[in-house]
Structure 1
Amino acid sequence: MSSPQQPPRCAVLHSPAWPLIAAIVHNPQIYAPAQPLAVFDAQRVSCCSPAAWGEGVRLGQRRRQAQGACPHLVIVPHDPERDARLFEPVVRSVGTLVPLIDVATPGSLLLATRGPSRYVGGDDALAIRLIALATTGVNALGESLDIEAVLSAGGGMGVGIADGRIAATLAARSAAHRGTPIVVPGGSSATAEFLAPYAVKVLVSVAGCPPQLIDLLGRLGLRQLGDIAALSPTHLVDRFGSIGLVLHRLASGTDDTPPATVPPPADLSITRVFDDPILQLDMLVFAAKSLTDELGTYFHERGQICTRMRIEADSEHGETSHRVWYRSQGMHSSTMLDRVRWQLDGWINGADPPSAGITMLRITPTEIRSDAGTQEGFWGGRSQADETAARAITRVIGFLGPQGVTVASWNGGRDPRQVYDMIPVADLGSTAAAGEQLLLRPQDDSLADPNLWPGSLPTPAPAVVFHEALSVAVIDQRGHSVSVSGRGLVSAPPATLTLKGANHEVVAWAGPWPIEERWWDERSRRVARFQLVVQVPDGQRAYLVEVFAGNWWLTAEYA
């Protein structure tokens, strides 16, 4: 078994919560550094500000959990294009020192230190210089803002320098939390010693390892990178196959690139020259789609996938935008097109846009590996589980008929029972039947904004909405049923909730939220809703109740 080559020395600049920095700079009137801010991706917290962290918000929490920990949490929309566009000035600022920069994701970039380190006087000086250049780039986005406060809201900027991408990335993440750069001494032994205490789960985010593999390693007792590095590579290969060798190299810091990497053909670069210069982003992206589709087809036919590519664009006046993009999981045609869009958007709509239209666009794959068939998760594309679920749905429809299988479809409304409707899968057409769309959501998150539905309940929404409301009684201290006048005035504070013959003390309440719908129609209804927290034998529970025509109904329960 051949010994791996020593990985090149790398520097990584990393911002833990760059989407928050981008949001504050983009909309300073809406978002402030001192606010508890959080970004949700796939309904889970992907990043949050220190103020939100102090209130109990944690990464990976669901929206309901985060808002329960911090009721006044300010939700920042997930917008990768905004993040990439506003990261462009930072990349250009660092590019004044280093011509070739590898951008992994907005908020994180990598560069080789061999030349720059000698130029500025060593790794320590390079780390300080990179922080200064990144700060200059952020300052160009909002000169009137308190840049230190803005960077603090995003977790700061960290620089890590080490041998290999993995060690440098982990060093940069630790540096952002510590507040000072981290320089790991060179050599495989020093790198392995630095990596040893890290949990194995970090390989999911920094190396693209499947979560199922990391879970298996944990069940086998391999919970830290040092545990894997201490094993023999032969034993890991016997147990896991070729991926075992990759795991050992990752954990020991001797290699952080897939062993199946193949050199790209010299003629694989694809160029599009425009006779008439183009400055409209949509037209450029449309032209780029044919290039990315051609590359995607080329790799698919050969069982390969691109993990690193260079995108170049030239303007009529000789201005250029050159970027290298990397994704450990590989890039299909749609993923390539996203990178093209991000780069061009950041250049054309950035702080230093080209003075003329774009005349040339070139995409060059620089790193290709064999496609191992890795499937993305539910939120990132179709997987084998999606295919299995689609076939199962088709079989169930065959047993129960087209009306027997339904999915939730977003409808909107003031009542939790109206926000989603259950509609037959068959009515959604072949796309849903193929498993590509099993839950319909509003295309624009702003459509779900409670401010667009006067009289709607404040967030978070109830966890359980009863299909049929339960008849209850809400009594005041004198034993009279609580009522609500036409002006929305409550006769007396609720004191007792009677549910299924049992009385429960009301320890807190809020409301009413009155609704009067279709006042011009004979089907009009006037409803007033309350949130009640009641005492039960096993603790407390929160309910949503409503009074309609003098009768009280329990319609939902909060988690």
Structure 2
Amino acid sequence: MWCPDWPVTAASVAAGIPGHHPAAVFSANRVVACSATARSNGVRREMRRREAQSCCPDLAVLGVDPSRDARLFEPVAAAVEELVVGVEVVRPGVVAVPAAGAVSYFGSEHELVERMVDHVSGRTELECQVGIADGLFTAVLAARRGVVVEPGTAARFLDPLPIIELASAMPMEDNGELVDLLRRLGLRTLGQFAELSERTVSSRFGRVGMIAHRLAHGLSERPIDRRPPPEELAVVETFDPPLDRVDAAAFVAKTLAKKLHAELGQRDLACTRLSIYAVTETGEELARTWRCAEPVNEGGIADRVRWQFNSWLRAAPADGLASGPNSGVVKLRLRPEELVDASKLQLGLWRSGGGDDEADERAGRALVRVQGMLGQTAVSTPVLVGGRGPGERVRLVPWGDPRDDVDERPWPGKLPAPSPATVFTEQVEITVVDSRGRPIAVTERSQLTRPPRRIEMTGRSARQVIGWAGPWPVDERWWDPRGDGVRARVQVVVDQGDALLLQFRAHTQPRWIIEGEYT
């Protein structure tokens, strides 16, 4: 079962945005997911934020948050589980269930599809589509088209589909690069890729290529000789007092993930399907199974445990979907349901010494303790993202949440180096005047009306300008009449050697603000 555009749906629900309003989720100022309304206005994936907003001025800009997506998807998975047992969360927005038993119970595959769609939509008021096929990859593509693929016809169904489906339906590490390479080689459909021999694919594209080749044939994405997981590999932890905070759950997730990963490593195994079981103080039992696109490392296990705890502990009627458990968690159990050789999980060649690892762990415990006293958002770390201004290029991520990679792509029109050492979160309004005390502004052609000579601030003495550079126009949302109109940045050096970054805004009334300070 597939919920279309789930990152946008979850972000809109969390932000209280109506479902019909155009919205998009951005990462590093590029669209990673958008709603159907936004697509009808021309918004597409990988589109820059400025271009997307020019296509749809009313577009709601939302951020990436895997923890939020997983938390809000839990009621959807629970609704599916009320009809069919054995629910596996592939990723937030997609769940897989074994169809054979359910088909026998409901009478036919089409009857199962109708019952599942009606039940989930009625419980959650969310749109969903169901597809049935032999393998998980084929079933995901069938769900996106709302069809039932008859047994033995998976290859025929996949044959005309575009090659990009390899990256969209089953995202894995390096899948995007593989799809881009296949397209440059002239392979446009899954059928064309499937026609290549296994030897050719193996020698040219490696392990990722071989997995993709199996998927294009309609086969399972994993080898069929999977080892049965020994029962003693499960790790269990009890809590007294009960666990009822997300920040504490994040620390527990890392501890249990490290323990489970060590147990698997001793047996040269890696986990590809993980079950998470919890028991609350009142005896309530919670369970969820996560299917992983590829063997996961310690961090991958910790992320899934943290996402699931986030779903259980923070679920509330305010989410519009469901309520959480009645009491705190007193027992947590992790059990690997599916194992493969650890050789399928490529680790880094070099690792830091034990002293560094211990120091990192002590620092992590200290930060989690601060979060426990002050809240999850009280401890944040900065991440560099795309943007033109200094404040736009830094995003604060709560400790324990996933951090995106630094965006190193060029940004036309961004502020030239160096960046300010201090960026003010509150606006500091000033007046910039020339040698005769006349106010200075920036014209529509991005030129200063007169050279700046003095900066005046309320309650402070005036500062003399001894040098300046710019202006650099801030050419954003120029089409929006509710915006700031003409905007520009200017770097100035004032007496006593201080340097400031100023921004001019001309909306209803021209004004200057101090945006940052150099040291």
Question: Is contact 1:46-1:59 (8 Å) kept?
Answer: yes
* Shift in Å, 1:158: 1.6
Matches within 5 A, 1:403-552: 419=391, 441-443=395-397, 463-466=413-416, 517=457, 520-523=460-463, 544=488
In the alignment, is residue 21 of structure 1 matched against residue 9 of structure 2? Answer: yes
Specify the alignment match of 2:169 in structure 1. Answer: 206
The aligned counterpart of 2:34 is 48
Q: Partner letter of residue 130 of structure 2?
A: V
**2:384, 2:271 → 1: CA distance?**
40
What is aligned with 2:65? Answer: 79
Alignment of 1:110-121 (within 5 A): 110-121=96-107
In the TM superposition, 1:53-72 aligns within 5 A as 53-72=39-58
Contact 1:517 1:524 in 2 (8 A): no
State the distance in 2 between where 1:183 and 1:516 align: 71
What whole-Å deviation, never above 9, does each CA across 1:126-164 have from its counterpart, x for those lacking one?
A: 11111122213324xxxxxxxxxxx4xxxx422111110
Please state how far the C-alpha of 1:198 moved relative to its aligned partner.
1.8
Question: How far 1:73 moved relative to its partner?
Answer: 2.2
Which residue is 2:215 aligned to?
Answer: 250
Counterpart of 2:33 in 1: which secondary structure? strand
- From 170, 193, 196, give the equivalent of 2:141: 170
Identical columns (%): 35
Structure 2 residue aligned with 1:136: 122
Q: Distance in 2 between matches of 1:307 and 1:95?
A: 21
Which moved further from structure 2: 349-358 or 326-335? 349-358
1:272 aligned to which of 232, 237, 245: 237
Cα distance 1:27–1:102, how it changes in 2: closer, same or farther (>3 A)? same
Residue 288 of structure 1 and its aligned partner are, at CA, apart by: 3.7
- 3-state secondary structure, aligned to 1:318: coil
- Say if 1:411 and 1:419, in contact at 8 Å, map to a contact too: no
Task: Specify the code of the residue in structure 1 equivalent to 2:338.
Answer: E
Is the 8 Å Cα contact of residues 246 and 259 (structure 1) preserved in structure 2?
no
Structure 1 residue 91, shift from structure 2 partner: 1.3
What is the distance in 1 between the residues matched to 2:446 and 2:305?
59
1 CA distance for matches of 2:245 and 2:490? 53
TM-score norm. by structure 2 comes to 0.67
Output the aligned Cα RMSD: 4.3
- Offset from partner CA, 1:177-217 (integer Å, 9 cap, x none): xxxx3111111xx1111111122232234342623333333
Cα offset for 1:39? 0.6
Partner of 2:80: 94
Offset at 1:294? 0.8
Structure 2 gap segments, 5+ residues each: 316-321, 351-381, 400-410, 419-433, 449-454, 476-485, 493-501, 504-519
Measure, in 2, the Cα distance between the counterparts of 1:241 and 1:19: 31
Distance 2:2 2:222 in 1: 20
The 8 Å contact of residues 158 and 216 in structure 2, kept in 1 or not, is answered as yes
TM-superposed deviation, 1:242: 6.1
TM-score, normalised to structure 1's length?
Answer: 0.63
Change (3 A) 1:489 1:120: farther
The question of 1:291 aligning with 2:291 is answered no
SS in 2 for 1:271: strand
Letter in 1 for 2:335: T
For the pair 1:335 / 2:300, whether they are aligned, the reply is yes
Alignment correspondent of 1:346:
311
Please give the secondary structure, in 1, of the residue aligned with 2:130. Answer: strand
Matched residue type, 2:462: E
Shift in Å at residue 80 of structure 1? 1.8
* SS of equivalent to 1:124: helix
Q: Counterpart amino acid of 1:200?
A: I
Question: Structure 1 360/220 Cα, relative in aligned 2: closer, same or farther at 3 Å?
Answer: same
Secondary structure of the 1:352 match is: coil
1:249-302 deviation line (CA, Å, top 9, x unaligned): 211112222467433223111112335543334334433432211112233455
